[in-house]
Structure 1
């Protein structure tokens, strides 16, 4: 296992009305899955797809643990150090993707001074030459807490007893959601197990459809009260598209080779994960029309 890419156990999605009564719950970090391999002071890191990212994150070189070997399971999140110092540090999914996509050595050194990576952990899969997959989640958590002390690079994700209360707090703060862990469960690598579930705290907003993509796949350009909010790229059902296309012909302002621009009269309710750093909707999905002429 050590120093080889492995496929971790993935989170099984649940709806908010399916939240478990487990007393082992954590916030869902908005970054990307990272598996950290510690081998006698040397560190390597891989994504859940097996991509090695060690050279992209010089922060990993500062990890020192009181053990010989381990595989730690967690997330990579990234904080923007250029924010005003009078504001609490905030991590952004956009910044995590920027760090992930920065590969050139000189660029990595520069960006690491502005966008700082941190690795919150929730599990340990391997310790001192022995896999820990058959141990219960709580046994593994106790071991993880004894091995990892909080630092600028690593921390152990806190657990909370009340999943419903934690979910409501995550939603209130605009966070991605929660993760729930079955206390007695072992690990099945490479599976999407119902012993570790995620409940996303989706947000909703009313948008106006201001443009239609003409080439390169489906796309509706969205605005919120006149401000551009991104592109809806997940197509709704054919009846919805047909109804919109019928009305949109009367709203055309202009067009070019790629887009047709409309009077932003048609409104719709959109579900999305969060606002991106530049104020756009992340992964917007159509819910329903709000304009009377398009409502059955």
Structure 2
């Protein structure tokens, strides 16, 4: 069977946590959205942007070990745990590796967990037109839970779950209507997300160095007119010394003489301009009146192309 990869159903940002018997809430995992395609002979893991990640997660290629369906398309989140909670930085240690030797090393260092929350196709039949409640029942019939594969549980009280996420410092929740079909390529209010932390993907347009190694990055996103706008600089976060060294190596072929930002960054002195080809995920408190992020913290390498770093990415 030749699969045509799909664009997954996305939640919109909600304002008020919905209540009622037809709504359920789920944990919003700080990981990488991942769809699993299995035609009975071949397995592919494809991320939200349609990029293949099968090689990065070899332990999930044998679908029969965790799913009873012969042919299936599953939707979920690939996560890794650090300090007792999901860590985007940790899962990116798996997701961003490209070389075979590095993949084997990362697999031994970071345990990935596949949190499955939906099913689109099972044993020769599309089920996207079925209500979420029916699809979830099908998941419970087909998925074989383990320490590496789990079904995301429903919680009836969304407000209570959101409070628990606040207490634990997790990312947030997603609320879903039990009668909602799965809208391939869709995005509407039947799925709503409520995030505790503000975050976004940004492209690196400049760096500063200390002792020959990058110690801070200047970040930008594209506005509605396609202009690359400076939104702040970051030098703290979850990156290790090895990550800064990796960035230093990568920018060696990306340096440019002209400032890539449409506006003038607040940190120009000593900055080295680079082509906006590398992306990161950044968490921040709020926007300043000047249009920059307040207290940005690097979460890890981004898994999106630069053109996805736009002002509309979180709407």
**Do both proteins adopt the same fold according to a TM-score greater than 0.5, normalized to the shorter chain?**
yes
d(CA) in 1 for partners of 2:231 and 2:130? 47
1:1-296 equivalence runs, <5 A: 3-15=3-15, 18-22=16-20, 23-40=23-40, 42-64=42-64, 65-79=67-81, 89-202=84-197, 218=230, 220-221=232-233, 228=236, 255-257=269-271, 282-287=283-288
| Distance across 2 between alignment mates of 1:49 and 1:8 | 9
Q: Aligned equivalents of 1:214 and 1:27: distance in 2? A: 29
Consecutive unaligned residues in structure 2, runs of 5 or more: 200-215, 221-227, 239-262, 274-279, 291-315
Q: Does the aligned pair in 1 maintain the 2:198–2:286 contact within 8 Å?
A: no
Relative to structure 1, the CA distance from residue 166 to residue 212 in structure 2 (aligned partners, 3 Å threshold; closer, same or farther) is closer
Quick one: distance in 2 between partners of 1:201 and 1:137? 25
Shift of 1:38: 2.3
**RMSD across aligned positions (CA):** 3.4
Give, in angstroms, the shift of residue 179 of structure 1.
Answer: 0.6
Looking at structure 2, the residues matched to 170 and 43 of structure 1 have their Cα atoms a distance apart, in angstroms, of 34
Task: State whether residues 166 and 178 of structure 1, in contact with CA within 8 Å, keep that contact through their aligned partners in structure 2.
Answer: yes
Partner SS state of residue 109, structure 1: helix
- Per the alignment, in what secondary structure is the counterpart of residue 19 of structure 2? coil
Match of 2:277 in 1: none
Correspondence for 1:269: none
1:79 to partner: Cα distance: 3.3
Change in CA separation of 1:7 and 1:258 when aligned onto 2, cut-off 3 Å = same
Deviation at 1:51, TM superposition (A): 0.7
Structure 2: how far apart are the matches of 1:5 and 1:61?
17
Q: Write the distance in 1 (CA, Å) between the matches of 2:138 and 2:121.
A: 10
Distance 2:176 2:2 in 1: 24
In 1, the alpha carbon distance for the partners of 2:39 and 2:61 equals: 12
**How far has the Cα of 1:285 moved from its partner?**
3.2
Task: Please report how far the alpha carbon of residue 24 of structure 1 lies from its aligned counterpart in structure 2 after TM superposition.
Answer: 1.1
Would the alpha carbon gap of residues 214 and 145 (structure 1) be closer, same or farther in structure 2, given more than 3 Å must change?
closer
Contact 1:46 1:53 in 2 (8 A): yes
Q: Distance in 1 between matches of 2:104 and 2:31?
A: 20
Question: Is contact 1:41–1:68 with CA below 8 Å preserved after alignment?
Answer: no
Q: Distance in 1 between matches of 2:190 and 2:34?
A: 19
Kindly indicate whether the alpha-carbon contact (under 8 Å) linking 2:197 and 2:283 is maintained by their aligned counterparts in 1: no
Aligned length: 233
Given that 1:11 and 1:198 are in contact with CA atoms closer than 8 Å, whether structure 2 keeps it comes out as yes
Query: How far 1:103 moved relative to its partner?
Result: 1.2
Alpha-carbon distance between aligned partners in 2 of 1:257 and 1:151, rounded to the nearest angstrom: 49
Unaligned runs of 5+ in 1: 81-87, 205-210, 231-240, 246-251, 260-275, 290-296
SS at match of 2:105: helix
User: Structure 1, residues 88-130: CA drift from partner, whole Å, max 9, x if none?
Assistant: 6543101222221101111101110001111101111101111
Q: Is the alpha carbon distance of 1:222 and 1:55 closer, same or farther for their aligned partners in structure 2, counting shifts above 3 Å?
A: closer
CA–CA separation in structure 2 for the residues paired with 1:52 and 1:222:
29
SS at match of 1:112: helix
Query: Normalising to structure 2: TM-score of the pair?
Result: 0.64
Cα shift at 1:43: 2.3
Give 1:136 deviation, angstroms.
0.4
TM-score (norm 1): 0.68
Structure 2 CA distance, aligned partners of 1:217 and 1:135?
43
* Structure with max Cα Rg: 1
**Contact kept in structure 2, 1:214 and 1:258, CA below 8 Å:** no
